[in-house]
């Protein structure tokens, strides 16, 4: 009977250790994908947005840190994209309408960052905004000036871009909320833009 | 096939296979798609562990069996570890984080392959049956999940890759199931503890 008892002891210990390890990795069984992990992580530990130089659609050079003091709604796009980015564009256009007041007061800024800077010159960025029916106010389309800046942005926002084999890209599309201190505080799905808006409106009132 | 290998042959084979899998071009190629990572790379890493068992001295094998009644401890260890490597977030992490890559290359041979190889000869008919049934169920569950999920579960891999993996997993589950049915009806069962075969007629 002795090996049986030993085996029982070993097995129960292994199950306990395994359970604790799995719980730790999945954030107490809430997150099973890297996307879910990324979203929970920024909510618990907001990430500093790096200081990165950007070209805007009008050809101006700005730094993302110039936008401190405003709430930012950030998405990542490439202008040749037919699927996700088009949907993101529509969503941002709607947010531009719903947030017209705070946008006009300079409390909020919409910003679409291209991860395909080689192709997305200011001209392409302008036509992306036009196609998305931007009303102009408060919505910037930008590209990082140098590849190191792009890499920093992708790392801190947790953006994974993979070539789709058809000349385009697949990427984890989402809406990112950055607070006036320059911290990434929330990531929501495209369909949950109401959540992002609520975070911002509550933040402005506070 | 594996059972007939001599100790040092198995050790060499395990070492060569492991080094090949570790070499950056092979690693990169095997992690290019979700399907290949799950259905080729991980099974080959498990094989490294299976081969390692052949390389162990008999005294070590005997010592572990005191703590491994009917192979249950080994089975639990392998199951817990493989649960971990079935999480979509682990598949992403194994490619993007060096720490997770090291954890995968060590844990899959040592904590899945090796314990399974140590446990299999000790497992009774019933325990083998439970293990294989659970394997089939896992292939069906995961296959169905990958096929049905409208979203990408791994940030690194495309949706069509994920769905192809789902298809293959359903086929593998079905093949395992048919194989077991075949064995139950027509197969021979050589019991480890010297009892006569438990083959059905």
pLDDT above 90 covers what percent of chain A?
A: 73
| Chain A residues with CB-CB distance to B67 below 8 A | 3, 6-7, 10
Test B156 with A160 for CB contact under 8 angstroms. Answer: yes
* B108-136 average pLDDT score: 94
Q: Per the CB < 8 Å rule, is B68 touching A10?
A: yes
Q: Tell me the C-alpha distance between B168 and B139, whole Å.
A: 9
Q: Which of A7, A31, A165 sits opposite B69 (nearest CB)?
A: A7
Q: Are B50 and B116 in contact (CB under 8 A)?
A: yes
Model pLDDT for residues B17-54, shown as the tens digit of each residue: 999 999 999 999 999 999 999 999 999 999 999 999 98
- Residues from chain A that touch B90, judged by Cβ atoms under 8 A, are 25
Closest CA to A196 of A173, A179, A171: A179
CA A107 from chain centre, in angstroms, equals: 19
Task: Place B3 in a pLDDT band, splitting at 50, 70 and 90.
Answer: low
Q: Contact A143/A114 with Cβ under 8 angstroms? A: yes
pTM of the full structure: 0.87
**At B58, is the pLDDT very low, low, confident or very high (cuts 50, 70, 90)?**
confident
Average pLDDT, chain B: 89
Count chain A–chain B contacts defined by CB atoms under 8 A.
78
Task: Inform me whether the pLDDT recorded for B1 exceeds 60.
Answer: no
Quick check: A34 and B81 CB within 8 A? no
pLDDT for residue B163 is more than 90 = yes
Which two structure tokens, joined as six digits, stand for B199? 């083959």
Q: Rounded to whole angstroms, how far apart are CA atoms A113 and A149?
A: 11
Which tens digit of pLDDT belongs to each residue from A139-193?
999 999 999 999 999 999 999 999 888 888 989 889 999 999 999 999 998 888 8
Dist CA B94 CA B85 (whole Å): 9
Nearest to A154 by CA among A131, A129, A184: A184
What is the Rg, in whole angstroms, of the alpha carbon atoms belonging to chain A?
A: 21
Instruction: Compare CB distances from B69 to A4, A26, A31 and report the shortest one's residue.
Output: A4
**Confidence (pLDDT) at B189:** 65
∠ Cα B17 B137 B79 (to 5°): 50
Q: Among partner residues B73, B83, B155, which is closest to A10 by beta-carbon distance?
A: B73
Indicate the length of chain A as a whole number.
206
B124 inside 8 A of chain A by CB: no
User: What are the respective helix, strand and coil percentages of chain A, to the nearest 5?
Assistant: 45, 20, 30
Residue B44 is predicted with a pLDDT of 97
Q: Which residues contact A192 (CB under 8 A, 6 or more apart)?
A: A175
CB contact under 8 A, A10 and B93: no
| Cβ–Cβ < 8 Å for B132, B180 | yes
Closest in B76, B157, B158 to A11, CB measured: B76
* A147 vs B: CB within 8 A: no
Over residues A36-58, the pLDDT tens digits come to 999 999 999 999 999 999 999 99
Say what the pLDDT of residue B66 is: 87
What is the number of other CB atoms lying within 10 angstroms of the CB of residue A106? 11
CB atoms A7 and B152 under 8 Å? no
Query: How do A175-178 and A71-77 pair as beta strands?
Result: antiparallel
- Chain A residues whose CB is inside 8 A of the B70 CB are 7
Residue A63 above 90 pLDDT? Answer: yes
| ipTM score assigned to the predicted complex | 0.83
């Amino acid at each position: 009977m002795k090996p049986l008892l030993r085996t029982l002891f070993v097995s129960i210990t292994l199950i306990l250790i395994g359970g604790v390890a799995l719980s730790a990795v999945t954030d107490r069984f809430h997150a099973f994908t890297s996307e879910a992990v990324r979203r929970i992580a920024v909510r618990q530990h907001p990430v500093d947005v790096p200081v990165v130089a950007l070209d805007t659609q009008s050809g101006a050079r700005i730094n993302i840190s110039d936008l401190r003091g405003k709430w930012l709604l950030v998405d990542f796009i490439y202008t040749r994209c037919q699927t996700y980015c088009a949907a993101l564009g529509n969503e941002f256009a709607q947010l531009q309408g719903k947030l017209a007041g705070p946008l006009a007061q300079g409390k909020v800024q919409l910003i679409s960052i291209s991860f395909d800077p080689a192709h997305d010159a200011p001209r392409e960025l302008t036509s992306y905004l036009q196609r998305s029916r931007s009303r102009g106010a408060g919505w910037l389309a930008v590209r990082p000036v140098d590849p190191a800046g792009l890499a920093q942005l992708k790392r801190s926002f947790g953006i994974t871009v993979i070539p789709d084999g058809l000349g385009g890209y697949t990427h984890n599309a989402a809406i990112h909320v950055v607070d006036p201190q320059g911290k990434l505080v929330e990531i929501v799905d495209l369909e949950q833009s109401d959540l992002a808006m609520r975070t911002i409106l509550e933040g402005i009132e506070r | 096939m594996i059972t007939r290998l001599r100790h040092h042959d198995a050790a060499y084979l395990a070492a060569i296979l492991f080094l090949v899998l570790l070499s950056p071009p092979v690693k990169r190629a095997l992690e290019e798609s979700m399907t290949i990572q799950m259905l080729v790379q991980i099974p080959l890493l498990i094989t490294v562990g299976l081969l390692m068992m052949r390389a162990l001295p008999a005294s070590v094998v005997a010592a572990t069996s005191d703590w491994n009644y009917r192979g249950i401890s080994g089975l639990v260890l392998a199951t817990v570890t493989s649960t971990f490597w079935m999480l979509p977030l682990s598949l992403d992490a194994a490619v993007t984080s060096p720490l997770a890559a090291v954890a995968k290359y060590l844990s899959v041979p040592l904590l899945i392959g090796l314990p399974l190889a140590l446990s299999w000869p000790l497992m009774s008919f019933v325990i083998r049956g439970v293990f294989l049934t659970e394997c089939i169920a896992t292939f069906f569950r995961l296959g169905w999940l990958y096929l049905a999920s409208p979203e990408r579960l791994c940030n690194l891999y495309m949706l069509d890759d994920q769905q192809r993996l789902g298809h293959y997993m359903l086929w593998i589950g079905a093949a395992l199931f048919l194989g077991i049915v075949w064995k139950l009806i027509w197969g021979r069962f050589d019991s480890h503890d010297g009892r006569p075969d438990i083959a059905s007629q």
